Chain A
């Protein structure tokens, strides 16, 4: 302290200024000092590129030549392109079928797994395992599962059961769902773990009270378990929706001979963006598609948070 006052005597303004600050102000400064690092990071690697993407979407940049401002031309091209609308429908098929299915399945598994005592940890680990695997590797394994005979495991099983074989990935009707199944399976482990944590967090006294009151199994599920799991469910629905809206790895790896095919029947928006940008080098057009994806993601996330908000 004496050192500081000596320094103060020699008119060292910064030290005096710092000393004159109140503790709470100092805390705020420290907090912002630490926060500055992630803020800077987000500004440079997130917000700036986002802003840049918005700008690019109104240019005709192709990586090679200078970007020219073209107004809303890219958006006009996109909305007039039947491929865009097909990809749009595909993306929503992944979302609207994939998310509810994955939530219902993972809840059902978690609900019953919660009651399993023997080998509980082991079974849980088994379900979680796919989540640890690289999506690309998993996609290739499933790609082989779906092969026509003589190498496709699923088709061999169908033959064994005396059922007709299915084209799966070579079909315009089945391809999307075949890939979606992989996506659901991949995220099942994560969702089960979160649901389990949610289930365990519900105080047992509620269940005991319900039992005393003579409530049946279904009533307990509908009146206690599900309502109290709402925050968990909201989180998983949002998380899973974003996942399905951004599905790419599975599709790209399972259809790499004809990405998003056959006949674009499995192509999601992200794959279309990827191809527009890195096969055709139409960066401006790809940025416009990205803006659309961004808008969809934002709207859906906001809407879900609002719909499932706690009152």
Chain B
């Protein structure tokens, strides 16, 4: 019976491929749908896909009436594909999105708010880390994360030892950080770096490090509390920018573009330290040529700590209705459950988004995950409206100082109105 039904469904879907839109939808609606099939979309990243395949298998075993089809696209095309699918009228039922895309996705009616009965706000806020609130829009939650990401400092224990530093005592403050970087950096007679103290990479994580950590640690605030005003054009912002660019121009401990990418420099054993995120752990775990460790991000000299928390959330596609919606809700609940989070930590290395799952003795004591998890407690989440464009503003600001010798204050003054325009343009719609 089931086989013939499948045959029928296949025939119908073949027909759909041949005939055009509306007529087909009518036929599909008439066909008896015993097993509901929903689509889950995420971007292509090997360990994430494997973890999800595992979770889908478990979910289907628990829910025999539902099948989940995983669809992936390369990261660079991912958003475009979702938007194109929406335009074509066949979007995903459950979809993964970066929290910073939320405004865009809501404006484009790509996703729908979560049911208040199934996912009560109070419960969500009690169970998840506070950064989940970035998925809240006008009092409604639009998605929940499986895992969250924070940043920490990876350091090369071998290079620490060679430089006469204690490999078990990584720098705790920004001053210690600079001193360690100075001890490690090596240049030849012509001034070319052979080893950098710290690998710098503006376009990957350094712009976050500057925006959410350094600005705060030097006494500034990057944005107003509701995220609508850019406020880093302050003394704190200037000092933070001077500190960041000074590592290259004054302290001479690093060079942007050394080994092409910061993480590549670290992997190659040519960088003493690198500031990076949880998602790098899996890749660094394959390093065999030297010993490395993880430490919490250096605090400011007066003890201010900050971190950048971010995540991909799972949301329900706008087109899901009826039994598909019910199935999508079930699946969303499953992939944000404790069980799923442990699978994700194990397979992908990203931190559980639920407080109780993350903050276990075992996780906190873990030499690799511990520093990242401790960072969750003091992490901030930038309320991006257009992540790529806002990042570009930061990149250009830093490059203005590094490549055009612009004074930090001038670079900041040029960047603020640019970013403010991006924010204003999105908030109007």
Chain A: residues with CB nearer than 8 A to chain B? 62-65, 143-144, 147-151, 155, 159, 164-165, 167, 169-172, 257-258, 261-264, 278-281
Do residues B260 and A143 form an inter-chain contact, with CB atoms below 8 A?
A: yes
Within the complex, the shortest CB–CB distance from A35 to chain B, in Å, comes to: 28
Within 8 A of A (CB), among B68-111: 80, 83-84, 86-87, 104, 107-110
Give the docked Cα–Cα distance between A264 and B110 (Å): 32
Given B110, B204, B386, which contacts A280 in the complex, CB threshold below 8 Å?
B386
Can you list 6 A-B contacts with CB-CB less than 8 angstroms, sorted by A residue number? A63-B108, A64-B104, A64-B110, A149-B194, A159-B192, A258-B395
Given B109, B192, B203, B400, which contacts A165 in the complex, CB threshold below 8 Å?
B192
Give the docked Cα–Cα distance between A64 and B190 (Å): 54
Do residues A165 and B190 form an inter-chain contact, with CB atoms below 8 A?
A: yes
Complex contacts, A257 vs chain B, CB 8 Å: 201-204, 260-261
Do residues A64 and B257 form an inter-chain contact, with CB atoms below 8 A?
A: no
Give the docked Cα–Cα distance between A144 and B392 (Å): 23
Do residues B396 and A263 form an inter-chain contact, with CB atoms below 8 A?
A: yes
Q: Does B403 contact A (CB under 8 A)?
A: yes
Within the complex, the shortest CB–CB distance from B21 to chain A, in Å, comes to: 18
Do residues A64 and B108 form an inter-chain contact, with CB atoms below 8 A?
A: yes
Given B84, B201, B400, which contacts A263 in the complex, CB threshold below 8 Å?
B400
Do residues A279 and B388 form an inter-chain contact, with CB atoms below 8 A?
A: yes
Q: How many residues from B make CB contacts under 8 Å with A?
A: 37
Q: Does B258 contact A (CB under 8 A)?
A: yes
Do residues B258 and A148 form an inter-chain contact, with CB atoms below 8 A?
A: yes
Do residues A263 and B404 form an inter-chain contact, with CB atoms below 8 A?
A: yes
Within the complex, the shortest CB–CB distance from A57 to chain B, in Å, comes to: 19
Q: Please name the residue on chain A nearest to B268 by beta carbon.
A: A151
Do residues B80 and A278 form an inter-chain contact, with CB atoms below 8 A?
A: yes
Do residues A144 and B108 form an inter-chain contact, with CB atoms below 8 A?
A: no
Complex contacts, B37 vs chain A, CB 8 Å: none
Within 8 A of A (CB), among B377-411: 386, 388-389, 392, 395-396, 399-400, 403-404
Complex contacts, A149 vs chain B, CB 8 Å: 188, 192-194
Q: Does B140 contact A (CB under 8 A)?
A: no
Within 8 A of A (CB), among B195-225: 201-204
Do residues B399 and A169 form an inter-chain contact, with CB atoms below 8 A?
A: no
Do residues B259 and A147 form an inter-chain contact, with CB atoms below 8 A?
A: yes
Complex contacts, B204 vs chain A, CB 8 Å: 257
Give the docked Cα–Cα distance between A159 and B193 (Å): 13
Do residues B403 and A172 form an inter-chain contact, with CB atoms below 8 A?
A: yes
Do residues B395 and A261 form an inter-chain contact, with CB atoms below 8 A?
A: yes
Do residues A262 and B389 form an inter-chain contact, with CB atoms below 8 A?
A: no
Complex contacts, B202 vs chain A, CB 8 Å: 257-258
Given B201, B259, B388, B399, which contacts A151 in the complex, CB threshold below 8 Å?
B259
Do residues A64 and B403 form an inter-chain contact, with CB atoms below 8 A?
A: no
Q: Does B255 contact A (CB under 8 A)?
A: yes
Complex contacts, B84 vs chain A, CB 8 Å: 63
Do residues B400 and A64 form an inter-chain contact, with CB atoms below 8 A?
A: no
Do residues A261 and B399 form an inter-chain contact, with CB atoms below 8 A?
A: yes
Do residues B255 and A64 form an inter-chain contact, with CB atoms below 8 A?
A: no
Do residues A262 and B403 form an inter-chain contact, with CB atoms below 8 A?
A: yes
Do residues B108 and A65 form an inter-chain contact, with CB atoms below 8 A?
A: yes
The main secondary structure of chain A at its interface with chain B is loop
Additional 9 contacts, C-beta under 8 A, given A63-B108, A147-B259: A62-B108, A64-B110, A148-B258, A165-B190, A258-B203, A258-B395, A261-B399, A263-B400, A281-B104
Within 8 A of A (CB), among B162-205: 188, 190, 192-194, 201-204
Given A148, A261, A279, which contacts B193 in the complex, CB threshold below 8 Å?
A148
Do residues A279 and B389 form an inter-chain contact, with CB atoms below 8 A?
A: yes
Complex contacts, B109 vs chain A, CB 8 Å: 64
Within 8 A of A (CB), among B351-398: 386, 388-389, 392, 395-396
Within the complex, the shortest CB–CB distance from A73 to chain B, in Å, comes to: 13
Give the docked Cα–Cα distance between A61 and B312 (Å): 27
Q: Does B256 contact A (CB under 8 A)?
A: yes
Give the docked Cα–Cα distance between A65 and B428 (Å): 14
Within the complex, the shortest CB–CB distance from A159 to chain B, in Å, comes to: 7
Within the complex, the shortest CB–CB distance from B335 to chain A, in Å, comes to: 26
Complex contacts, A147 vs chain B, CB 8 Å: 257, 259-260
List the 7 closest pairs (A to B, CB-CB), nearest first.
A64-B108, A149-B192, A257-B203, A170-B257, A262-B399, A63-B83, A279-B388
Q: Please name the residue on chain A nearest to B106 by beta carbon.
A: A64
Complex contacts, B386 vs chain A, CB 8 Å: 280
Give the docked Cα–Cα distance between A165 and B404 (Å): 18
Complex contacts, A63 vs chain B, CB 8 Å: 83-84, 87, 108
Do residues A164 and B190 form an inter-chain contact, with CB atoms below 8 A?
A: yes
Within the complex, the shortest CB–CB distance from B196 to chain A, in Å, comes to: 11
Complex contacts, B80 vs chain A, CB 8 Å: 278
Give the docked Cα–Cα distance between A273 and B201 (Å): 26
Within the complex, the shortest CB–CB distance from B200 to chain A, in Å, comes to: 12
Complex contacts, B190 vs chain A, CB 8 Å: 159, 164-165
Give the docked Cα–Cα distance between A193 and B107 (Å): 53
Interface centre among A62, A148, A165 (most CB of B within 10 A): A148
Complex contacts, B392 vs chain A, CB 8 Å: 258
Q: Please name the residue on chain A nearest to B256 by beta carbon.
A: A170
Q: Please name the residue on chain B nearest to A277 by beta carbon.
A: B80
Complex contacts, B188 vs chain A, CB 8 Å: 149
Give the docked Cα–Cα distance between A92 and B302 (Å): 52
